[in-house]
Amino acid sequence: MTTKIALVTGASRGIGFALAQGLATRGWHVVAVARTVGGLEALDDAVRALKLPGAGALTLAPMDITNADAMRHLCRSLHDRWGGAGLWVHAAIHAAPLAPAGSIDERDWDKSIATNTRATGLLIPMVEPLLRAHQGTAMFLDDPVAGQKFFGAYGATKAAQIALARSWAAETAKIGPRVIVATPAPMPTATRARFFPGEDRSKLTPAMAEAERLIGLL
């Protein structure tokens, strides 16, 4: 495979956006997945605006990762076109509003489970053969808020996602694919602004700077 293929789920904003942009500027062909079409188009504009020689291309895939049939079709397309993928970055999340555990909204709870936990469990078997075919790497992004007050829905389902990723990492340590669980530094993203309104954002790490560090881990 001469083209380096990176699948980035959750690429329309925040660290997913920054990682997709950073990978594209390093020559990766990024298959960018997100529900928000406008965010994906902004990603495409950002990469094109840099006009860097040797930059990779983008394939925009506006779809919901909770739609198993759509994701299965996408993975099949990756196999048919490129024979696999060298990298999967999983940055897609549902960040439910903060709420006491005794007041979690049922719809937010169901969506948190569907996006943060169930979709991950379905995607790993779909993506694993793509990565194994090219000795690839999967990267998950931890957020250690589980158990903190008011983070019940998000924290519990995100922790379950990371537990699944760590199990996968242990299982494939000798046979591949390589699985990395990284913890990003606090960044001035829209999601963090919802969780910590009024925070001094000047002290946070810019998403692009953190993306550069995470890409270095690969």
Parse the chain into domains and list their residue ranges: 5-217
Per-residue pLDDT reduced to its tens digit, 6-58: 999 999 999 999 999 999 999 999 999 999 999 999 999 999 998 877 777 89
> b vs e for 80-115, b when ≥16 Cβ sit within 10 Å of the residue's Cβ?
eebebbbbbbbbbbbbbebbeeeebeeebbebbbeb
Q: Is the pLDDT of residue 1 over 50?
A: no
What pLDDT score was predicted for residue 3?
82
Q: What is the mean pLDDT of the chain?
A: 96
pTM: 0.96
Sign of the four-CA dihedral 78, 38, 25, 88? negative
- Average pLDDT of span 68-74: 98
Fold of 5-217: Rossmann fold (3.40.50)
